[in-house]
Amino acid sequence: MRIRQLERLGMGVFPTPFEPMPRLQKELGGPRLFVKRDDLTGVALGGNKIRQLDYILVEAKKKNADYVITTCGVQSNWSRQTAALAAKMGMKALLVLRTAQFKTKPKVYDGNILLDHIMGAEIKVIDMRINEDPTPILEEEAEKLQRKGHRPFVLGLAAAVSPLATAAYAYGFIEMTQQASAMRVKLDAVFVATSAGPTQAGLILGAKIMGLKTKVIGVNVGAYSTERIRKVILESSEGAAKLLGTRERVREGDIIINDDYAGEDYGISTKESIGALRLVARTEALIIDPVYTAKAMAGMIDMIRKGEFEQGQNVCFLHTGGIPALFAYKEQFQPGR
């Protein structure tokens, strides 16, 4: 297995821990359970985007940008992690944040948007859903900054689904399987919260590069259709494979996306996701987030309870972070609820 090593900022802290979850395993009575802690990627409360932006923002550094402009929802992990790396690189961040699932502008800053503000990001909240494209607004903001003599770097939504974001998770998969094999563990399946798709795409490509049959099960969190996610996975993994210099390719048949746990909509919790969040907190002191990882965890727990894995098989949950959003959803976790 020989692949190209791409340039990175080196601001994330890797490898992230890979740990067993014995008490959750006992509770569920199925396969052996592990967690890959990409909630601990080392910068501003971590998450999967730090692993990706560590490669993506190399271009901003090379262009000597003084501003990075990006967009997502008000409780966006992508925006928080961009603001964090921008601060560490000595750049300003301008975040165009959409009201998305909250529908109204926040009266009090909480969770991710609070951290964005504390880290010095400039914030513009606009009334827009998560699956609408605000790219023209980013271009407009960039022009305004240029007129003031700044050197903005526009980090559009395309970056979040780029071959680089995917390549980062091919490396992530390799890191995880090396940790597993040091513990004499061969992973049969990995669960991941899938939204736009590149994290899952990278994991699948990583498994191919390693020549492993590990199933990568993406649990759709409800922002995009499975069809669109599949398309992103095929396209971004094709680009990532080229960047990494491998002949391996992700094919239609390699993609497993489970749509059963998305619930009503993106950002709307389900009874099962709230239950899953509480269960892993109580058994493993593992804090997950309500928007992404709780739905993926609900999927993993349900599939184990339905007997889809055998005892002795090894199943890993990729914790992709997102924890700050929990505080913006605090009402649903109050005593008596």
Ligand X SMILES: Cc1ncc(COP(=O)(O)O)c(C=O)c1O
Cα distances (angstroms) measured from residue 115 to each of 5, 72, 100, 145, 234: 32, 15, 18, 23, 34
Q: Does 112 bind ligand X (CB under 6 A)?
A: no
**Nearest CA to 190 among 168, 164, 214?**
214
Q: Are 41 and 8 in contact (CB under 8 A)?
A: no
Q: Minimal distance in Å, beta carbon 78 to ligand X?
A: 6
Q: Minimal distance in Å, beta carbon 305 to ligand X?
A: 23
Cα angle value 269/71/14 (rounded, 5°): 80
Q: Are 17 and 37 in contact (CB under 8 A)?
A: yes
Q: With respect to ligand X, which residue has the nearer C-beta, 177 or 195? A: 195
Q: Does 16 bind ligand X (CB under 6 A)?
A: no
Q: DSSP characters for 189-238?
A: EEEEEESSSHHHHHHHHHHHHHT---EEEEEE-SSS-HHHHHHHHHHHHH
What x/- string results for residues 155 through 194 when contact with ligand X is judged by CB under 6 A?
--------------------------------------xx
What x/- string results for residues 187 through 206 when contact with ligand X is judged by CB under 6 A?
------xxxxxxxx------
Which burial class, exposed, middle or buried, applies to 77 when counting CB atoms under 10 A from its CB (0-12, 13-18, 19+)? buried
What x/- string results for residues 48 through 87 when contact with ligand X is judged by CB under 6 A?
x----------------------------xx---------
Q: With respect to ligand X, which residue has the nearer C-beta, 67 or 292? A: 292
Q: With respect to ligand X, which residue has the nearer C-beta, 30 or 52? A: 52
Q: Minimal distance in Å, beta carbon 205 to ligand X?
A: 13
What x/- string results for residues 285 through 304 when contact with ligand X is judged by CB under 6 A?
----x--xx-----------
Q: With respect to ligand X, which residue has the nearer C-beta, 78 or 261? A: 78
Q: With respect to ligand X, which residue has the nearer C-beta, 115 or 145? A: 115
Q: Active site includes 76?
A: yes
Q: Residues with catalytic annotation?
A: 76
